[in-house]
Structure 1
């Protein structure tokens, strides 16, 4: 849990991801196309990956598939469905602008 909190507090936009996950890839590409450079944390490349995934679920990402888990300004915004919904409503760009996620 401490590692998740530290990473999230040190970066404006964080995506906890798995390198083999197509939904994670899609969310990463969305942010890139918006001109945002998020901190991408590939949990499958960390020996503590399972613990990190459990911590993310405890924080509140309790969907069936908790990854990608997107944090903006230290707050959990959700996974793919929540991020795409924010984007389609026009709410995602203002969020990342205020949290200095733009290049």
Structure 2
């Protein structure tokens, strides 16, 4: 490899990394916009039983969450990767379903159900403006 070829490879890798970072930034902005623009957002995969449970729990409480089915989204894989990072920070086992309430990442199905059982879910939903009881 000549010096020019080596430099070209470095430039191509740098450009590729920059494009990847720009795409991740756009995905982050989209998730941030969705989470902050809606009282409750559920990121799921259609046909996922745990996503179904999360949505049914919220619907049963009278909440109409914004639902994003990642397998039907153009950037679904990238959003899933971002949610995996968020879930890892909360020591969750699965990145989806991922629930945001009041613009904040609540967690997955385990956290949602735990909050429901311990009585903290309804106050969170009220504070976010998702319930008016």
Q: TM-score, normalised by structure 1?
A: 0.93
What number of residue pairs does the alignment pair up? 102
- Cα displacement (A) at 1:31: 0.3
Structure 2 counterpart of 1:70, from 99, 110, 114: 99
1:2 shift after superposition: 1.5
Partner of 1:92: 121
Contiguous gaps of at least 5 residues in structure 1: none
Kept in 1: contact 2:84–2:94 (CA 8 A): no
List runs of 5+ in structure 2 lacking aligned partners.
1-27
3-state DSSP of counterpart to 2:131 = coil
Bigger radius of gyration among the two:
2
Q: Which has the higher contact order (CA 8 A, sep 6+)?
A: 1
SS of the equivalent of 1:61 reads helix
Q: Using structure 2 for the length normalisation, give the TM-score.
A: 0.73
More helix, by proportion: 2
Q: Tell me the secondary structure at the aligned position of residue 106 of structure 2.
A: strand
Can you list the C-alpha shifts for 1:36-78, whole angstroms capped at 9, x where unaligned?
11111111100110100111223x2123321000000111110
After superposition, the CA RMSD in angstroms is 1.2
Runs (4+) of structure 1 moved beyond 3 Å? none
